[in-house]
């Protein structure tokens, strides 16, 4: 199969995007792993597959796969790239796009200056929604890993996150604690691990160790999870700039029951084709 693709990124979180609207495309796990291999394939953090909707009130459906072949529920940076892709490819001329994901329905709004705002839906702090094993719902939880105890805020923003507030960010912290918590037994489906440094009430620095991908340059859902966790704990205001390794995202959340709004850029790198 000759596969046409577009390479894109959102703040360095990179994707291969495939149009499965104009042509039916199917992948097995081995093919996804080959495409994601940065030495023997194209290389990406996630593969995005754009499909026709299954619901009449939706414009598109899209699926998200990590480089290891595992399918995930949601991806904030991917959603922005998705919006730019369908607009650039003239698959739609709408500026507000309603999309199905594995997690549910989301809405994307094309802004000026190449920015995209994603309505990420309302977060959940209920352990059952991650799922996360806990006797009862709480604000903060203590989790033991390799003899150390970490204080985390678990939150679902369509996919599961564990947010740790830290005094300072470091390579050693992310590389040592990230994989241990990602596969911790209390997270049934593994978890994305966010390390958040609070700069002030309207700014955070953030690094995210993503399940199935490792640390990425930026994680949109991770930024959303970190900010809403910080707001929930009383550390942050309702509108926050998250500084990630790849750049900045603006996150807004008005509290319980309200959707998270994430605004940031999306860029096309190149188009190509490869035989599978």
Domains and CATH numbers, the chain: 2-121+265-275 (3.10.310.10), 127-258 (3.10.310.10)
Helix (H) or strand (E) holding 180: helix 171-182
Report the alpha-carbon distance of residue 269 to residue 151 in Å, rounded. Answer: 39
Host H or E run for residue 51? strand 46-51
Backbone dihedral angles phi then psi of residue 181, each to the nearest 5 degrees: -75, -35
- Please report which confidence band the pLDDT of residue 103 belongs to, taking 50, 70 and 90 as the band edges: confident
Q: Which residues are annotated as a binding site for substrate?
A: 13, 46, 66, 76-77, 159, 192, 210-211, 220-221
Torsions phi, psi for 85 (to 5 deg): -60, -50
* Residues 145, 139: Cα–Cα separation, whole Å: 19
Annotated binding site: 13, 46, 66, 76-77, 159, 192, 210-211, 220-221
Query: In the predicted model, what is the mean pLDDT of residues 23-37?
Result: 94
Q: What span, in angstroms and rounded, lies between the C-alpha atoms of 84 and 71?
A: 22
Residue 266 has a pLDDT of 95
Which pLDDT band, with edges at 50, 70 and 90, does 131 fall under?
very high
- Residue 62 half-sphere exposure toward CB, CA atoms < 13 A: 30
**What are the catalytic residues?**
75, 219
Residue 160 has phi, psi (to 5 degrees) of -85, 140
Q: How many CB atoms lie within 10 A of CB 19?
A: 17
State yes or no: cis peptide before 31, omega within 30 of 0: no
pTM: 0.91
Helix or strand (DSSP H, E) at 9: strand 2-10
Rounded Cα distance, 68 and 60, in Å:
25
DSSP SS3 for 237: coil
Tell me what pLDDT residue 74 has. Answer: 85
CA separation for the pair 134, 127 (Å, rounded): 7
61 Cβ contact partners less than 8 Å away, ≥ 6 residues apart: 50, 51, 52, 53, 54, 99, 100, 101
What is the per-residue pLDDT for 205? Answer: 98
pLDDT at 184 exceeding the cut of 90: yes
Query: How far apart are the C-alpha atoms of 186 and 245, rounded to whole Å?
Result: 28
> What mean pLDDT do residues 162-191 have?
95
Torsion-angle region of 57 (φ positive above 0: left; ψ -120 to 50: alpha; else: beta): alpha
User: Which has the higher per-residue pLDDT, 20 or 212?
Assistant: 20
Assess whether pLDDT exceeds 80 at residue 146.
no
Q: Single out the residue of 193, 162, 157, 11 nearest to residue 73, CA to CA.
A: 157
């Amino acid at each position: 199969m000759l596969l046409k693709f577009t390479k894109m990124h959102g703040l360095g979180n990179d994707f291969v995007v495939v149009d499965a609207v104009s042509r039916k495309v199917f992948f097995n796990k081995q093919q996804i792993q080959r495409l994601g291999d940065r030495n023997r394939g194209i290389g990406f953090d996630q593969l995005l597959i754009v499909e026709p909707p299954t619901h009449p009130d939706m414009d598109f459906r899209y699926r998200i796969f990590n480089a290891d072949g595992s399918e995930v529920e949601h991806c904030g940076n991917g959603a922005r790239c998705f919006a730019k892709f369908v607009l650039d490819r003239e698959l739609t001329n709408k500026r507000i796009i309603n999309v199905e994901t594995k997690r549910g329905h989301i809405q994307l709004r094309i802004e000026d200056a190449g920015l995209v705002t994603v309505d990420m839906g309302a977060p959940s702090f209920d352990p059952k929604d991650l799922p996360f094993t806990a006797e009862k719902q709480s604000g903060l939880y203590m989790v033991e890993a390799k003899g150390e105890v970490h204080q985390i805020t678990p939150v679902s923003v369509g996919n599961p996150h564990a947010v740790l507030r830290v005094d300072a960010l470091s390579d050693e912290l992310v590389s040592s604690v990230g994989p241990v918590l990602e596969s911790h037994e209390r997270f049934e489906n593994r978890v994305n691990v966010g390390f958040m440094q609070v700069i002030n009430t309207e700014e955070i620095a953030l690094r995210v160790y993503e399940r199935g991908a490792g640390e990425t340059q930026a994680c949109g859902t991770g930024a959303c999870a970190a900010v809403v966790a910080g707001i929930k704990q009383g550390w942050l205001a309702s509108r926050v700039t998250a500084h990630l390794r790849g750049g900045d995202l603006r996150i807004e959340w008005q509290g319980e029951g309200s959707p998270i709004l994430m605004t940031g850029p999306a860029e096309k790198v190149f188009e190509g084709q490869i035989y599978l």
